[in-house]
Amino acid sequence: MWRFLGTRLAMGALTIWITTILVTLLIHAVPGDPVQIMYAQSQGTTPEQIEEVRRSLGLDRPIPVQYAMFIERLLHGDLGNTIRGGQPVLDVIMQRLPNTLILACAAMFIAILIGVPIGFLAAYREGSVVDISLMVLAIAGISMPHFWLGLMLLFFFALELGWLPVSGSGPLNLILPALTLGLSNAAIFARLTRSSMIDVMSQDYVQTAFAKGLPKALVLRRHVLRAGLLPVVTMMGLQFAFMMGGTIVVENIFSWNGVGRMAVEAIFQRDYPIIQGFILTFSVVVVTVAIVIDALYAVLDPRIRRA
Amino acid sequence: MILRRNSLRRLAGAAGIVAGLTSSAAAGDIVWARYGDIDSLDPHRATSTLSLQVWSLLYDTLLATDAEGLPVPHLAKSWTSNEEGTEYTFSLQDGVMCHDGTPLDANDVKYTIDAAFSEETPSVTKGSWGPITSAEVIDPLTIKLTLEKPFVAMIPFLADSFSSIICDSNGDGFGTTTAIGSGPWKLVSWTKGDRIVLEKNPDYKNFGKLAENPGAPHEDGLIIAVVPEPQARLAALKTGEVHIAEPPFDDVPSIKESGELDIIVAENTGQNVFWEFAVHRPPFNDKRARLAVAHATDAAAAISLIYGDLSVQENCPVSRGVFGNDQDFCAQYRPGYDPEKSKALLAELGYSMDKPLETALLVWTGGNRQKLGEVFQAQLAEVGIKASIEIMDIGSLNARVRQENETTTGTTGSMDMMTWSWYDPDILYALWHTPGAYRGYTSPELDAMLDETRVLTDQDARKAKVQEVFKYLLENAIHVPLYTPGWEWVFAVRPEVDGFFVAPFVYPNFSDVKLGG
């Protein structure tokens, strides 16, 4: 188990290290002079100032030196300052990261709470009307674009009923974006849980258990559920990463102050220090989640611990 | 979606849940929602309209802008300059207080200017202040600015929020957590990406800013919230969570019709949307190709189709409200809509309907500009110009335009619908004086004229020179004006809001606002 976790940790560290290299190269990947682009709309900026920014970003130095400077700063917890506004990037990200994590966790909670039981029920009643209707519902859920579902929820609960606020930051403001994200992910979990459960139920050991005359509920709880949830756990990790970066549409509709919106704004404004900081933070969160998921996987499936 | 609104409302009432329960704004707070946030509270650190609008609420400027967009006294009650235009002496109003209770005097003005020219962190608009070499405190209410050479655009600059006077009591955290000025509103808090909370400055004295109110704002607080999604802004306006916001464009006619909200359109925004071309390669290195585009463009028809009466055709390279703008003067030189002339010019260049002139047409995303681009594309196709539209964000557009100008080979042209806003014709210096913001068209002749527009201290002489520049730009189809305003200029306002107006250069003013029942 410890060796397994150790390997995972080492791989995670390697991933983050590679990310730091890519992040340094990123600024050179865009055609044209990045600093000129950043200041293209600032009428009063003098050429000396542009040079100064280039110096402060280290862009006048060879790339390996730039990388060394970046790592040195990073080790001191310094991700640089934003181009627009000149604030420390770390502060800007840390102010919003909790919002994104809260939203992703709440949405994940809703997705699992709704998706897994539906999938389980559909598998249990495989081929029945219940199964078919649940799966039609799930396909509708997966196909529904976030922006449409979000706007519909907003119109209904905020505008028509007036139960929830349209925008802002507070516990009540979390409900609608979490529902929007959660519902479409619930559909994914429902489909995955169903197919995985059906797969496990056809396994010999489950058939044997049934043949021995064990009660259905006991077989399902003891033998099917645990094995059947393994792919769902994997999916949780992937979906969590998706929710971290892919919530921009939901964040926009509900004015949720998260990192996704921040990153897109930074890309539009060519604010490289924020983009670099975001990618790095994002990779750390995704790697951490992946390690946690792997550990969870190992707990659920003893075969993995031995491997 | 069809819903029976009343029955649902009753249902909500029965459930004991009342609309607005969650609103964090207090009764005397005006809530203004915008699509984005400021970059900084420090006027030396950013250039966006979103930032400028907030600075104008927190800080004062030496001069202010009147309804026509001209500079008038404000913190400075008068000013004089020497004959050469290299020394300006401003006398300041007495009794102005900073938000922290310290008096605002010449030392604060010096502090602001020294910060703008600081060695380590100069202002991002340092170049627009002009060649100031020193700011000298003569006495607490008199400050003298010395310039290396004359720079007449400094006076209008001192009326714009770029030159906001920062109190010298600002210390650590200035720009992010503190912002001590002398404006009508004081900073309470700023949560980046979410909202700015302001409270009224009870000691405020308005000397020259456009507002009827000579003192403190009527309402206690002002919340500036970020609501990026247009439909969400409209929903928040309807529920009463927000009082003032930019509505979704396509909903403006139905909002007007229903009378549910008032629509206010900003005037004298200084915003100019225009054609410009990649001039260092064919086909647009030839003036005739540029003129062909200009003559094929029916801006008035296109705008009316897309924006109705929310925007108007502009004839000058700087828009209404900016010094020198004169529609009649510019109309004489602006290549007008004349498809036959356009076809004749294209024929001279060897193009025809069978062998069209091919060009990229770059458009800034948002504000229905892509739809407008399609109308222009159809107009150009009528004369045999095949334009392929490419839509991109403003950052990419700026980069791409410069890149296109630096590309000197190839036969496919590039033109773009560029957008700029500035309070003075000095913007033309930035765009068209060597080397040019986008490395586009320049000539020694144009450079000489532009140089003069910076030093002529006599207003009439300067106006004549500025208009000479207009004539040159229009006749050579270098900067072909299309329309004004162009972005973030429409406001939807709830009926209980009284006294809201937008000052020139899109500065919303809240000093006169009263929230009625």
pLDDT in tens, chain B (517 residues): 333 344 434 333 333 333 333 345 677 899 999 988 998 999 998 888 889 999 999 999 999 998 877 889 999 999 999 988 899 999 999 999 999 999 999 999 999 999 999 888 888 888 889 899 999 999 999 999 999 999 999 999 999 999 999 999 998 889 889 999 999 999 999 998 899 999 999 999 999 999 999 999 999 999 999 998 899 999 999 999 999 999 988 899 899 999 999 999 998 898 999 999 999 999 999 999 999 999 999 999 999 999 988 899 999 999 988 999 999 999 999 999 999 999 999 999 999 999 999 999 999 888 889 999 999 999 999 999 999 999 987 777 887 898 899 899 888 999 999 988 888 999 999 899 998 888 899 999 999 999 999 999 888 999 999 999 999 999 999 999 999 988 888 999 999 999 999 999 999 999 999 998 6
Give the containing element (helix H, strand E) for B377. Answer: helix B369-383
Give the C-alpha separation, A83 to B294, whole Å.
37
Q: What are the φ and ψ backbone dihedral angles of B47, each rounded to 5 degrees?
A: -135, 0
- Contact in structure between B396 and B406 (CB atoms under 8 Å): no
**Do the Cβ atoms of A158 and B235 come within 8 Å?**
yes
pLDDT at A207 over 90: no
Can you say whether the dihedral through the CA atoms of B183, B188, B192, B195 is positive or negative?
negative
Reduced to 3 states, what is the DSSP secondary structure of residue B413? Answer: strand
Q: What is the pLDDT of residue B25?
A: 66
10 Å CB burial of residue B181 (0-12, 13-18, 19+) is buried
Give the relative orientation of helices A230-245 and A89-124 as an angle to the nearest 10 degrees.
140
Indicate the pLDDT class of residue A41, thresholds 50, 70 and 90: low
Q: In this structure, what token pair is assigned to residue B349? A: 């260049």
Instruction: State residue B4's pLDDT score.
Output: 39
Please report the pLDDT score of residue A43 as a whole number. 54
Q: How far is it, in rounded angstroms, from Cα A255 to Cα A237?
A: 25
What lies within 8 Å, CB to CB, of B76 at 6+ separation is: B62, B63, B90, B91, B92, B93, B158
Judged against a pLDDT cut of 80, whether residue A46 lies above it is answered with no
Pick A46's closest partner by Cβ from B127, B395, B422: B127
pTM: 0.85
Verify whether the Cβ–Cβ distance A255 to B399 is below 8 Å: no
Asked if B365 has any chain A CB less than 8 Å from its own CB, the reply is no
What's the mean pLDDT when you consider all of chain A? 83
Which residue out of B229, B237, B424 would a mutagenesis test of the A interface target, given it has the greatest number of A Cβ atoms within 10 Å? B229
- Interface probe for B, chosen from A160, A176, A267 (most Cβ of B below 10 Å), is A160
Predicted confidence (pLDDT) per residue in A269-285, tens digit: 778 888 889 989 888 98
Contacts of B19 in chain A (CB under 8 A): 162-163
A55 contact B CB<8A = no
- In chain B, residues with a C-beta closer than 8 Å to the C-beta of A255 are 194, 225-229, 232
Q: Please give the DSSP secondary-structure letter assigned to residue B352.
A: -
B9, B128, B239 member nearest A158 (Cβ): B239
Which of A43, A176, A253 to probe the B interface (max B CBs under 10 A)? A43
Of A280, A287, A295, which Cα lies nearest the Cα of A24?
A280
Which element (helix H / strand E) includes A136? helix A129-143
Question: Residue A221: pLDDT above 90?
Answer: no
What's the pLDDT score for residue B343? 96
Mutate to test the interface with A, among B4, B7, B22 (most CBs of A within 10 A): B22
Instruction: Determine the distance from the C-alpha atom of residue A122 to the mean position of all C-alpha atoms in its chain, rounded to a whole number.
Output: 27
B481 and B270 Cβ atoms separated by less than 8 Å:
no
CATH code of domain A98-257? 1.10.3720.10
Give residue A28's identity as a one-letter amino acid code: H
pLDDT in tens, A134-144: 888 888 877 88
Looking at residue B171, its amino acid is G
Inter-chain CB proximity A261 and B124 less than 8 Å: no
Which one-letter amino acid corresponds to residue B138?
Answer: I
Which DSSP category does B73 fall into?
E
Q: Classify B288 as helix, strand or coil.
A: helix
Q: What is the mean pLDDT of residues A228-235?
A: 83
Angle between helices A259-268 and A230-245 (to 10 degrees): 50
Interchain CB contact of B250 with A (< 8 Å): no
Nearest CA to B474 out of B282, B324, B288, B291 is that of: B291
pLDDT of residue A40: 60
The answer to whether the CB of B186 falls within 8 A of the CB of B99 is yes
Q: How far is CA B41 from the centre of its chain?
A: 18
> What is residue B34's predicted lDDT score, i.e. its pLDDT?
94
A17 contacts: CB under 8 Å, gap ≥ 6: none
* Backbone phi and psi for residue A145, each to the nearest 5 degrees, phi listed first: -65, 145
Give the residue from B121, B90, B105, B93 showing the smallest Cα distance to B167: B105
Task: State the DSSP H helix or E strand holding residue B198, giving kind and residue range, or none if neither.
Answer: strand B195-200
Picking from B488, B491, B493, B23, the residue whose alpha carbon sits closest to that of residue B237 is B493
Nearest CA in chain B to A171: B22
Contacts of A45 in chain B (CB under 8 A): 124-127
Beta strand B385-392 pairing with B357-364: parallel
SS3 state of residue A167: coil
Both tokens of B49, joined, read 């309209």
**Mean pLDDT across the stretch A212-228?**
81
pLDDT of A138: 84
Q: Which residues contact A250 (CB under 8 A, 6 or more apart)?
A: A103, A146, A150, A177, A180, A181, A256
Can you list the positions of beta strands (E) in B316-382?
357-364
Q: Which residues pair with B357 in a beta bridge?
A: B385
* Confidence (pLDDT) at B404: 92
Q: Evaluate whether B44 touches B123 at the Cβ level (below 8 Å).
A: yes
Cβ atoms B487, B366 nearer than 8 A: yes
**Alpha carbon A165 to chain centroid distance?**
25
Token digits of residue A217: 């509920």
Nearest CA in chain A to B418: A41
List of chain A residues whose C-beta atoms are within 8 Å of the C-beta of residue B1: 152, 155-156
pLDDT at A8: 84
pLDDT band with cut points at 50, 70 and 90 for residue A4: confident
Whether pLDDT at A167 is above 60: yes
The DSSP output letter for B167 is: P
Q: Cβ(B372)–Cβ(A246) under 8 Å?
A: no
Using a CB-CB cut-off of 8 Å, the residues of chain A touching B9 are 160-162
- Domain ranges in chain A? 2-79, 98-257
Give me the residues of B, 166-185, that contact A with CB < 8 A. 175-176
Beta strand residue intervals within B368-411, DSSP E: 385-392
Report how far residue A286's alpha carbon sits from residue A100's, in angstroms, rounded to the nearest whole number.
Answer: 13
